[in-house]
Structure 1
Amino acid sequence: MAIIRWVLGRIILLLNFIFSPSGTKRSAEEQQKLDEKTQNLALYQFEACPFCVKVRRSIKRNSLNIQLKDAKNNPANRQQLLEGGGAVKVPCLRIENQGEVTWMYESNDIIQYLEQDIINA
């Protein structure tokens, strides 16, 4: 089963590389405003997780500058996710707003949050 998961993960990564979305073009001022809105966001993810790939594609398509944290291969990131979010489940968006931290799971919820509350706010 681990071999099948590894092979499928590599296929997902290859297809993501081949069909990578292009980013949204904005003025420097608009992009800087978005970068300021996203500076306190971090995505905890596994590289080959299909739901993480979905969120990363949305981030790239919308030209968002969000820190990516590998929760599979980096024990410190994994521990932060477990302690802060309560579970090692990815994708998970860590949202820090005025000192208060919220952890958001589920790829569709994360994408909806980014598009409605960050880009279109």
Structure 2
Amino acid sequence: MKSIFRIFFRTLRIVLTPFMLLWEKATTPKGIVRLPEAQQQIDQQCKNLALYQFKTCPFCIKVRREMNRLSLDVALLDAQKQPQHREALLQGGGRAKVPCLKITDDKGNSQWMYESSDIIHYLQKRFA
């Protein structure tokens, strides 16, 4: 019975994946246009951020859309298909849950932020 559920959901994911990615592409808003100096400063700040995500996770899509709207160049790390990123997420954040924003300060200390709504609120507060 357990294998039947697993096969069902795996098939469902395979069928829905193209539609989810197409929906993301079609509904992603235009990014904020900033002066080149301001955008360069924001890009520099984004080097201390990394988003651990799955490509087709609806909550990850929500965060990526907001990052695009804010014109943020944050590193996207696929914790589903790249085992080294999944392991880093487990070691650093303690859970293999996505989306997860890794925020590194100037001293090299890292903070791991889970929950898409918290991540979006943080990005809006810091970069909007």
The answer, yes or no, to whether TM exceeds 0.5 is: yes
Which residue number corresponds to residue 31 of structure 1? 39
**Partners of 2:11 and 2:77 in 1: how far apart?**
24
Q: CA deviation at 1:6?
A: 2.5
Q: Deviations over 1:79-114 (max 9, x none)?
A: 000110111100000000121100000000001001
Residue 58 of structure 2 is aligned to residue 78 of structure 1: no
- The one-letter amino acid paired with 2:78 is D
**Partners of 1:115 and 1:32 in 2: how far apart?**
18
**Partners of 2:69 and 2:62 in 1: how far apart?**
11
**Larger radius of gyration between Structure 1 and Structure 2:** 2
Which residue number corresponds to residue 19 of structure 2? 11
**Partners of 1:21 and 1:69 in 2: how far apart?**
22
Q: Normalising by structure 1, report the TM-score.
A: 0.93
Gaps of 5+ in 2: 1-8
**Partners of 1:9 and 1:54 in 2: how far apart?**
15
Which residue number corresponds to residue 101 of structure 1? 110
**Matched residue SS, 1:29:** helix
Which residue number corresponds to residue 122 of structure 2? 113
Which residue number corresponds to residue 53 of structure 2? 45
Q: Normalising by structure 2, report the TM-score.
A: 0.88
> What CA RMSD, in Å, does the superposition of the two structures yield over aligned residues?
1.0
Report sequence identity in percent. Answer: 48
Q: CA deviation at 1:7?
A: 2.0
